[in-house]
Structure 1
């Protein structure tokens, strides 16, 4: 990253932070320490870090809030893209080739995604994994650092907590938006809801969207619909029911590009970002369905009960031909390919029950939370790897083979397999948020019992684990707006990967354990929405699962350490200008690996060194340009560790590599047509352009596989919307 760019962003950010508050709607009274289940949470509050509505300025942990309005304004199509502007995230690790999944790194680690406080499980054996369409989201919060004390299974890097759009307490409202853009991108989003009597709220919304991808044969399509109803609105007891069905007939190709010709210079030149190493028949289909309940009861006197649960079902069918990475012997143009097919299903049940209340002991106010949760996931996979015809990547001739549609059709297969995984975890937790004048102290503790079972033709492997995790944090609010804080937290994450142990035997991986110390400060300008936050952190993780060239198993390295600094801030300025900035710098290294000492001191594949972003938004508050919004953004991602690359002609010259840093620019325009004519009330027009200058860049690589991924090229899209 250039020193000039870094200095400019930090200097601009130091003058500012927090978007101005938008109008918020709340249904009924809400206890201070209860998660809101209807309406919209305030943008300057976060509930995920403490499972309570706590001001960001008083939360002793790094948390980033991104609202649904911001996602729509920036024209973002998925969570991967929405995380581009969050400090501490290495975004879009598989670039434009893998938007079927939410793949990113948070403070150097994979991070789970939660929806409405309940974990979104992915298949532990294969490729079936849920993905929430952005049209369903009211907002999401990125919690940085270990959060196992409240959530159980969680990464030491943190988690992403998504919140669904739920019924709003207004008579009637609705929106319709249509979008068209580059690569035949299209979206049709609709949302309608309101009151049905005094005690019932309802909402129905959905989206049909899709696009061609950069790769020649890739295409994604989705139709999704959600419905929600809240019973007992405004009373002491409310029940919200939410259902969703999503049909993804195409999800891109999940393809790869060879490192030679992308990351590594080739005598034949650079491979096009539109290159596709597969075939026209490649397919990745997914179906999703879920049902959620959220029950709330207010006992009065500051005490309340909240219970939530979800059942989710996911199926996927995958049939791929892909470049296997290394060129054929004696060639720099012709590459070997492989094939794979799978048929998978995933079922999971998650529950969380909380009792929250306020208690005073002398001058100390205690905001107490007690919880019991349970998580169960069953996944089944039938699959087979096999061979494929080679391909001249600089003059490809397609159609030389048929893409397998079932595992049995995989050519030259290595043997069809069936894997089943059965996971469950239950935990009990307690938290005390104490207030004594300007001092805020948070203490939390949890105990988990976990059981994992993997079943295959070779037999059944069962692993049972239990763990105590805890957190302690303190924050002090000074009268001029500064709030320094310090926290210590631990994580516990059961793993279902099959690993090769030091004695060369195979078995389920041990749980990942993590611990973090974080010290930071938050600054608000009294009487304004300005919020600046900065934090230094150090995370130590043990029992890290590391991919190897052997597709059947992985390894567990000894220890990994992640240290870094993050800054985020947003602020409204004069004349309708709003700025938002983020900066992060991190160092993620293997600190111990008894099985492979050569890894010590090296990074983790697809983990970056940090980055920076700056968003500028101008919406004139008066004059002839009122109703117009112009915006622009610059985002920079620093070098990303790629792993060790061994040249085919000289394996002894193997060396660790990084994919290069990149900087891209985005811009957008919005106009409220009512400002031009009152008869056009409710109509808006918008144009977005991402990667404005159409830069070709690599997001990450697995150099040990000789695989790389290109990022998204320029996408321009136009939107017309109507709101009532």
Structure 2
């Protein structure tokens, strides 16, 4: 939404790797081995049953006492996903796609009921503390996504009590030469061209270059997305005790689509005048949103021998954005009209840039003390972010949501062009505001993973010091966070576990008295069980959790904030994935949660959920891809996605009464099909074609609403896309 500091702009997202592109998770064949048509070479070699984000070490999921979900690049490709938010549809505990088809420039979701940060290669992706300068990672750059659930401050510092998402970049592979390319076209003029190649140019010297040109028209009128991105990585010392990798990435997004809203009357709530079209756009044809990003990452590793090693990584990130829009304010011109058609609008323009530096240094070691086997981690990290923003909000001409007439006012090209407050819309010029925000965090942490027979115990602790300023006031904070967890591998392979963890999270909100909000605090107890079927990649996990967050900054009725909140999130999650007999592959995710405000200065909030938080849902994907027989090389699959109702807060009706609302639950179906053309002719070895359809039956549904502002968002209608890919 467009009220400052009430926007849910969640960090980095992604565009798409599409069906049939040359990416998958199978391990690489040995150097020099003959390649079959099904061999996919441009990928990492880590199995999806292993993750590093939960413990900052490669640990099997079945032995990690924490709920973690892994999404690999082959899943993103096979399902034809277009951004991080769509990938999270298949993760238990996530309320996905907060703003549906209206804001794919960002990935906005809830994890166990809370907003969650995004990391890239284990380093936090900062966003503007107040505005729209938010980085987004294109999926062409990613090898995998790991979703860590629950508080993680004991290793990462400031973080959400719901957890975080870690995206991992493609890095050079130790092969003589490899490559892949793919092209996609689909509904809404969707297009995508991806290329990825690399190899070895010396003893222990590796290189890799990959990039993408992609875009599409928006579901809403006038909007379009365009992106050109390229990344290059080099590694020196690969395979030796000391290696050094540098990764540079540049992305130019001249158009980032519409960032609009739909009035609640005519979407969530019946309007006698009719239902608002999913194509409706409440702004002007000249609205724009552009972004430029650059990142430079290094990863240094040294193995001392004897089980001890050192790893250092760091990244510089730059983001620049320009935005000028007109948007519906959600309220009708005549608030007493029971069947309104004419709605108020507002305008907004901003110029922003963000610079941040993040570093993480880790010493790891293994040793024994009697029967105890220790894997220890000691680390020091530092994060610094500086964001500057010049912005202005203004008025705008009204619009008929059922028969819109455009061109009644120009889009503001810069903050100084925003129309003044008060009618008529051009009665003066608003004076833009400038925000200069600095954030800094540094911490020291330690972890011991202890093994005693089949018992695994993890102990983690961290001390953080933070500093933040909005240009007029400075706030210093320090906090110790910790985690204790235990997992036991039974004789039948089931591994029950229990954990307790804490978190803290600095908040950028300015309270109604003008002061900066204090950090919120979180704590969680989680209990669950995991089962890795012996000799297979089938993994079954289940978890129960109870999270309490205190000192929460919550909005009051005047669009300012107060800090008296206490929130509880409690629920269960079940996930299952793996390869089944007869060529079938399956993935199922189920969650049910109850998120409730326990304390708030606004009495009507108590006992209610948090805005845009759902009750849970289920997703199930089944694919048939036989490895042998006459159908080998062919794959066909289907997906069902059900999202339960999402809380929308209180809506005030024309007669002055109000009631708490929820956006209704929805169920949609997807389908996919692909074929390896090598089965037709060996001359076509390495060529794959595929088709994907999402929301197959073209269901119209709402992903979420802010009913207190009378805003809602539609989900994506049916899209169909075809891809041809080649690898070598």
**TM-score of the two chains, using structure 2 as the length reference:** 0.93
Corresponding residue of 1:343: 351
What is the rounded CA distance, in whole Å, between the counterparts of 2:57 and 2:393 in structure 1? 47
Corresponding residue of 1:379: 387
Corresponding residue of 1:3: none
Pair 616,389 (structure 1): closer, same or farther in 2 beyond 3 Å: same
Asked if the contact 1:610/1:637 (under 8 Å) is kept, the reply is yes
What is the rounded CA distance, in whole Å, between the counterparts of 1:39 and 1:274 in structure 2? 40
Question: What SS does structure 2 have at the residue aligned with 1:215?
Answer: coil
Corresponding residue of 2:581: 574
What is the rounded CA distance, in whole Å, between the counterparts of 2:370 and 2:691 in structure 1? 57
What is the rounded CA distance, in whole Å, between the counterparts of 1:192 and 1:178 in structure 2? 15
C-alpha displacement at 1:431, in angstroms?
0.1
Corresponding residue of 1:96: 101
Q: What are the superposed Cα offsets for residues 479-528 of structure 1, whole Å, 9 maximum, x if unpaired?
A: 2110000000000111121122xxxx121111011000000000122222
Alignment of 1:117-132 (within 5 A): 117-132=122-137
Corresponding residue of 1:360: 368
Corresponding residue of 1:535: 543
Corresponding residue of 1:620: 626
Q: What are the superposed Cα offsets for residues 688-715 of structure 1, whole Å, 9 maximum, x if unpaired?
A: 0000000000000000110000000001
Asked if the contact 1:642/1:702 (under 8 Å) is kept, the reply is yes
Pair 319,578 (structure 1): closer, same or farther in 2 beyond 3 Å: same
> What is the Cα-based RMSD across aligned positions, in Å?
1.3
Question: What SS does structure 2 have at the residue aligned with 1:498?
Answer: coil
Whether 1:116 aligns to 2:121 is yes
Q: What are the superposed Cα offsets for residues 172-203 of structure 1, whole Å, 9 maximum, x if unpaired?
A: 11000000000000000000001111110110
Alignment of 1:318-333 (within 5 A): 318-329=323-334, 330-331=336-337, 332-333=340-341
What is the rounded CA distance, in whole Å, between the counterparts of 1:417 and 1:177 in structure 2? 45
C-alpha displacement at 1:26, in angstroms?
11
Asked if the contact 2:44/2:143 (under 8 Å) is kept, the reply is no
C-alpha displacement at 1:24, in angstroms?
5.0
What is the rounded CA distance, in whole Å, between the counterparts of 1:497 and 1:429 in structure 2? 27
Asked if the contact 1:181/1:716 (under 8 Å) is kept, the reply is yes
What is the rounded CA distance, in whole Å, between the counterparts of 2:546 and 2:693 in structure 1? 37
Question: What SS does structure 1 have at the residue aligned with 2:462?
Answer: strand
C-alpha displacement at 1:549, in angstroms?
5.2
Corresponding residue of 1:417: 433
Corresponding residue of 1:673: 677
Whether 1:723 aligns to 2:715 is no
Asked if the contact 1:26/1:168 (under 8 Å) is kept, the reply is no
Whether 1:664 aligns to 2:672 is no
Pair 639,307 (structure 1): closer, same or farther in 2 beyond 3 Å: same
Match of 1:83 among 73, 88, 91: 88
Whether 1:506 aligns to 2:514 is yes
Corresponding residue of 1:655: 659
Question: What SS does structure 1 have at the residue aligned with 2:708?
Answer: coil
C-alpha displacement at 1:554, in angstroms?
2.5
Alignment of 1:483-522 (within 5 A): 483-500=495-512, 505-522=513-530
Asked if the contact 1:24/1:41 (under 8 Å) is kept, the reply is no
Pair 65,529 (structure 1): closer, same or farther in 2 beyond 3 Å: same
Mean Cα deviation higher: 635-644 or 556-565: 556-565
Corresponding residue of 1:144: 149
What is the rounded CA distance, in whole Å, between the counterparts of 2:505 and 2:328 in structure 1? 33
Question: What SS does structure 2 have at the residue aligned with 1:396?
Answer: coil
Corresponding residue of 1:211: 216
Question: What SS does structure 2 have at the residue aligned with 1:499?
Answer: coil
What is the rounded CA distance, in whole Å, between the counterparts of 2:404 and 2:332 in structure 1? 14
Q: Which runs of 4+ in 1 moved over 6 A?
A: none
Corresponding residue of 2:613: 607
C-alpha displacement at 1:546, in angstroms?
2.4
Alignment of 1:44-59 (within 5 A): 44-59=49-64
What is the rounded CA distance, in whole Å, between the counterparts of 1:641 and 1:582 in structure 2? 21
C-alpha displacement at 1:21, in angstroms?
6.9
C-alpha displacement at 1:669, in angstroms?
0.6
Corresponding residue of 1:430: 446
Question: What SS does structure 1 have at the residue aligned with 2:202?
Answer: coil
- Which ranges of structure 1 fall in alignment gaps of 5 or more residues? 1-19, 28-37
Would you say how many aligned residue pairs link Structure 1 and Structure 2? 683
Mean Cα deviation higher: 97-106 or 521-530: 521-530
C-alpha displacement at 1:543, in angstroms?
1.9
Asked if the contact 1:604/1:641 (under 8 Å) is kept, the reply is yes
